[in-house]
Amino acid sequence: MISQTVEYALRAMSHLAAIAGTCASSSALAEATHAPHGYLSKIMRDLVCAQLVTSYRGRHGGFALARDPDAISVLDIVNAVSPRKRADRDRLGAEPETDPLRACLDGVLARAEDALARATLRSLMIGSGVLGPHTN
């Protein structure tokens, strides 16, 4: 359910949160996340466009969080790199109220989105150090 792209984005954001106050180069992020450099560059561009990360040019440039880790939800990160789209009514031809399958799937997606919206970047770090086993 969680794509490799989302996992790399979460790992990159967690790394940036762990080194708060300093920049990480794209090479350092690729090494820390075990992500291919070119692929991670695209992910970082998406995170910059979503205003979750700031990029700095120059010799000591790189990437840094644009906001406090408490102000960034996991859903913010997911939507920045892999926006989830709910099935539209035209394609399915049924309203959730009259289609049990659609209602079930819509409910599952709503609960997942709610959980991701409540989880912050900092909460990923608290139980684990940075994306290890979660103890909360």
User: What residue ranges define each of the domains in the chain, with the CATH number in brackets?
Assistant: 4-85+121-126 (1.10.10.10)
Give the model's pLDDT for residue 93: 60
- 117 vs 75, 78, 112, CA distance in Å? 5, 10, 9
25-72 pLDDT, tens digit each: 999 999 999 999 999 999 999 999 999 999 999 888 899 999 999 999
Q: Could you give the CA distance from residue 33 to residue 17 in angstroms, rounded to a whole number? A: 13
Identify the CA nearest to 73 among candidates 131, 13, 21, 133: 13
Give the model's pLDDT for residue 127: 52
110-123 pLDDT, tens digit each: 899 999 999 999 98
**pTM exceeds 0.85 for this model:** no
